[in-house]
Copies of this chain bind each other. A is one copy, B any other.
Amino acid sequence: MSYRFPLKDAVRHIDWRGDRLRVLDQRLLPRRLRYVDCRSAQDVADATRAMVLRGAPLIGCAAAYGMALAARRGEDLSRAAKTLLAARPTAVNLANAVQYMLEAAKRANGDRPMAMAAAAQRYFETDLRANQTMARLGASLLKRGSRVITHCNAGALATSGLGTAVGMIRYAHYLGKVSHAYPCETRPYLQGSRLTLWELMRGRVPATLITDNMAAHLMKTGRIDAVIVGSDRIAANADVCNKIGTYGLAILARHHGIPFYVVAPATTVDLDCARGDLIPIEERSAKEVVEIFGRPIAPKGARAHHFAFDVTPHDLVTAIVTERGIVRPVDGRHLKKVLG
């Protein structure tokens, strides 16, 4: 990284051990640091589906290591690829990582397991460098002392390290450009309160938690200068799929004349997907809505929706920050120009 930016607070949340991938169980944060060992592609897929690990870029990194584990065990790589791809439908980073590893397998001469492990490591390091570049580029968009809202967790925990939206916020805070961050708690999984606030507090960024439904009031009362979020998939027309609630925040930001920034690496862009409404939106179990920590918060037999993501049309997005440059204005043409 070209700037001095100490991150002594980082937790080793994904750790390649040669014969296994050790991942932090993010479901238990911030109360407990428990690690889970994945010894096969199936283990990685299970951990991904169960949200032991989450965050589009991290899901990609873990899938790359999952493919390396499959190679190590001499498993059929196309079957391993299928297993991993079936874990979660929305984040395209997963598909991109698996594709990257299948191509690495084709190119491998000699020791294929070793070559695959090296490829997974390269994928991981590429993501880390991308985050560093996005943090630098993104910070340039902000005025001094900005007060920002973020949603879900697009932090170190969601990526190889540093993070996308939170990486930008942390670096901007380091430069004096962010004075306060407001993470939305992000129901139902509470990634904002459990993960993002935890990262911000460890990084000494002044932060105040809000419930998702407080964002509009904060904007109206002049407390917010920008909204900064990550993404799980960006379509070719620059529509942005991200954690449920993001689309609503974009509408609120537009209503109040507040810029709305998306920070995501090139691996999140899916040029094969023409528009946002073609992105599959994962529907998870209603149980994750009607229970909190296993305790019911709704009547017995309650029905609930659990859409895990939504799509923000590109015209509500002020800029998309990628490691290859800033997309602005946000449309398909400029997206392709920056990524081309």
Task: Report whether B217 and A247 are in contact in the complex, using a CB–CB cutoff of 8 Å.
Answer: yes
Which range holds the interface residue count of chain A?
35 or more
Interface residues of A (CB under 8 A from B): 30-31, 182, 184-188, 190, 193-194, 197-198, 201, 207-218, 220, 244-245, 247-248, 251-252, 255, 281, 286, 289-290, 292-293, 295-305, 307, 310-311
Nearest 8 A-B pairs (CB), nearest first?
A213-B245, A216-B248, A209-B304, A187-B211, A217-B310, A212-B213, A193-B298, A30-B299
In the assembled complex, how far is the CB of residue A230 from the closest CB belonging to chain B, in whole angstroms? 15
A75, chain B: closest CB distance, angstroms: 38
Contacts A209-B290, A209-B305, A297-B193: A255 and B244 contacting too (C-beta < 8 A)? no
Least CB distance from A129 to B in Å reads 29
B-side contacts of A201, CB under 8 Å: 299, 301-302
Q: Are B193 and A213 in contact (CB under 8 A)?
A: no
For this complex, 26 residue pairs linking A to B, each with C-beta atoms less than 8 Å apart, are: A186-B213, A187-B211, A187-B212, A190-B297, A193-B298, A198-B298, A198-B299, A201-B299, A201-B301, A208-B305, A209-B286, A210-B304, A211-B245, A212-B212, A212-B213, A213-B248, A214-B305, A216-B247, A216-B310, A217-B281, A217-B310, A220-B311, A251-B255, A255-B255, A292-B292, A292-B293
Choice from B197, B244, B289, B307 contacting A209 with Cβ under 8 Å = B289
Q: Which B-chain residue is minimally distant from A151 (CB atoms)?
A: B213
Query: Quick check: A289 and B185 within 8 Å, CB to CB?
Result: yes
**Contact between A217 and B244, CB atoms less than 8 A apart:** yes
Distance in angstroms from A246 CB to nearest chain B CB is 8
Residues of B within 8 A of A186 (CB): 213
> Among B188, B198, B247, B299, which residue has its beta carbon within 8 angstroms of that of A211?
B188
Taken together as a complex, chains A and B put the C-alpha atoms of A305 and B218 apart, in Å, by 10
Chain B residues, CB < 8 A from A190 = 297
**Nearest neighbor of A295 in chain B, beta-carbon distance:** B293
Partner of A197 from the list B30, B244, B302 (CB cut-off 8 Å) is B302
Contact status A302-B212, CB under 8 Å = no
- A248 engages B215 (CB within 8 Å): yes
Q: A290-B193, A293-B295, A310-B216 are in contact. Are A209 and B302 (CB under 8 A)?
A: yes
Question: How near does chain B come to A118, taking the closest CB pair, in angstroms?
Answer: 37
- Residues on B with C-beta less than 8 A from A248 are 213, 215-217, 248, 252
Whether B302 lies near A214 (C-beta < 8 A) is: no
Contact B304 A216 (CB under 8 A): no
